[in-house]
Chain A
Amino acid sequence: MNSITTTRKAIQSGETTAKEVTENCFNLISQEPFNAFHEMWNDEKQAYLEGPLSGITVGVKDNIVTKVGTTTCGSKMLDGYRSPFNATVIDRLIASGATLVGKTNCDEFAMGSSTEHCAWGAVQNPWSTDRVPGGSSGGSAAAVAAGLCHVALGSDTGGSIRQPAALCGIVGYKPTYGLVSRYGLVAFASSLDQIGVFSRCVRDAAITTEVIAGFDPNDATSVEEEAPCLVESLDDSIAGIKIGVTRDFLTDRNDPEVNQAIEDAIKVYEQLGATIVDVSLPLTDVGVSTYYVIAPAEASSNLARYDGIRYGHRTDKVGLDLFDLYSHSRAEGFGDEVKRRILLGTYVLSSGYYDAYYNNALKVRRLISEEYASAFEQCDVILGPTTPTPAFKIGAKSNPISMYLCDVYTANTNIAGICGISIPCGFAKNDGKPLPIGMHLQGPAFSDAKLLQIAHAFEQATDFHNQHPEPIS
């Protein structure tokens, strides 16, 4: 799969056509063995609008609503659900000429770090099919890693774009909260959710995000500013840029190969003229705990809408009163992880526990946000690993806590509402098969252009992003 820039040049020079490019993608998707896609939309009558993304193929996570096809959130609750409207990001992609190729599988309602908790089956990592692609946007990550489409949309609530990007060896970018409209993203935890892009290079993430970003009156939390210029400054020198490194990220909870890859990445930045500064983020350790109070609390409220009345699954049981109709429809429609989080969230919001759990977590949230603010007084971005380990085996994390700890380095980005990106920075050896390692860069809110510039500089100086799993045909 070529980059957006290369593909656009080939189309503009007449070397190929948008139709040929997209048909090639559909051909690959129709035979992909990873369960990355839930649906493929090969529209024979596709118009191929002229625009910056004409001929560019985009996979869409199954929790972003589209008028074409279904939107199921990987849940039996929404099996066959057809949205009567498009998410704002979808309308903007269509207007830019992009071809939406289909819906990618995800953990149910975006709750998970492995894409095993999907009603339509687990997704496999294209680098090693007995391993997970990460989650919750695992289908989007696997699709881009396997070269099935140019880019894919994901959503990131605590790491759900960056963590699977790391595990699949691609770029995963979570923009600053408020930069990209959430209108039409099925809500999980509204103060944390953010739509973002998977791609094979930083430039493709920047190009696609320029298309989808910008104020949207339909999202009351989108910022009232012009869409940012992200591409223009990508090639600027990073000499003199300050990169924060913290020992709080390079602990023995990480695989040694992960720590080594990050140490090597730091040296690359030094060679590029960046200054490395030590910063301290001691609250890293309580990020996951804070997250697992706030996110389930918001989820228990957001998912109350699935009542079996207006849309979604309704139980077949007869003779139930309204209370039991709700309770049985929800018990049948939701999977185990979603139920667990609804229970957890309802508990921390319930009378007698609200202050001890929910309100206290919101106070810690402010401390985390302030801790970042003081770190960013000393540096432009903070560098560390995206995940403690490379991709793990399917079925390996049966205990909820061990799964939740996959987000130890990513959850705080959402808690503070800042921007973050994972880019490939190395490989671990696994029975002869390489497994990708991701580097995580975080920047202050609305410093997205600089974040991408710094990520791009590393990419240009290294070759990790050019390595791909074996092609499927």
Chain B
Amino acid sequence: MWRPSGLFHVNYSQEIAFVQTPFQWVMLVLGLFVTFALPLFIPLDALNFFIKAFITITAVLGLTLLTGNCGQISLGHTAFMAVGAFVGAPLLNQGVPLILCLIMAGLAGGIVGLIFGLPALRIKGFYLAFATLAAFYVIRFILIHYFGGVVGHNVPPPSILGFSFNSDFRIYYLIASTCFAMTYFTKNITRCKWGRAFIAIRDHDIAANTLGVNVYFYKLMAFFIGCFYAGVAGLVLSIYMGWASVDHYSLTNCIWYLGMIIVGGMHSISGAYLGVFFILGIEEMGIVIAPKLAELFPQLAGSMIGAVPIIFVGLVLVLFIMIEPRGLVHRWEIIKTSIRIFPFSN
């Protein structure tokens, strides 16, 4: 890892510190300040965009761990989100404290993910992708038939210590804090023993096994942790919507999530952030442009609003994977390096 010259670590706690240089401290405080002051200055539309982005980041961080770091492809991520929402929403209705609900939703998502991750012990690649796709349909079926999935559950505005999250403005703070807590958690997982085991399994599972990494255990743990994120994100999404229904957790969204980790850069947290903002930005652009296109082509106006964002995002993903499959983070690293070694860069 590149560090500025003159920075010497003299003991272990400096070496593993989360923030290492004064510049990083400044960026961290500034970033947090901007994030939490943002709702005061931007209109409601933009606020909704950021809320959606932070929920998506929470879910995508799970995929970053599971798919980016451990190499296990999951096409069932939105189904695990739905599990979190359907466990958390009734608990919230019964007046269980919010933090406990979030943890329960995460655990439920994680345990269901663990069960449907079992095929990963024997298969990988295309087979695993399709097994998780099958899991998506099975979970959806169970939620619809046994948990009232189509009608859904009403989710009351939750509250912590009497502070009720009853408007988009207030929910923003809940969602941003959840997202940052999960980011911190991800950062710590990726640099501890477990994170290194995940990366070893992704790079070569047989080699990892011969080096003493318990491949079965860590694969299942990757599913558990990744789906824990999904559960939390699912409940948070249903709090934002005020309603938990399986229609909010579609396969298309899952495809977009996987696309986001590719567009961002597969195995880094900053990649998750970049990918989410990039793809959601494209989608938002489609939503804005669609009515204008509908004026140009009145005979297609009926389906324009639903179709244009999907066409935009689909096309961007296809082009992106063809042209820059290593993601935005890779491009950013190249730019950063060329600035650092400026007179000698090409």
User: Do A and B share a complex?
Assistant: no
Interface residues in chain B, defined as those with a beta carbon under 8 Å from any beta carbon in chain A: none
Interface residues in chain A, defined as those with a beta carbon under 8 Å from any beta carbon in chain B: none
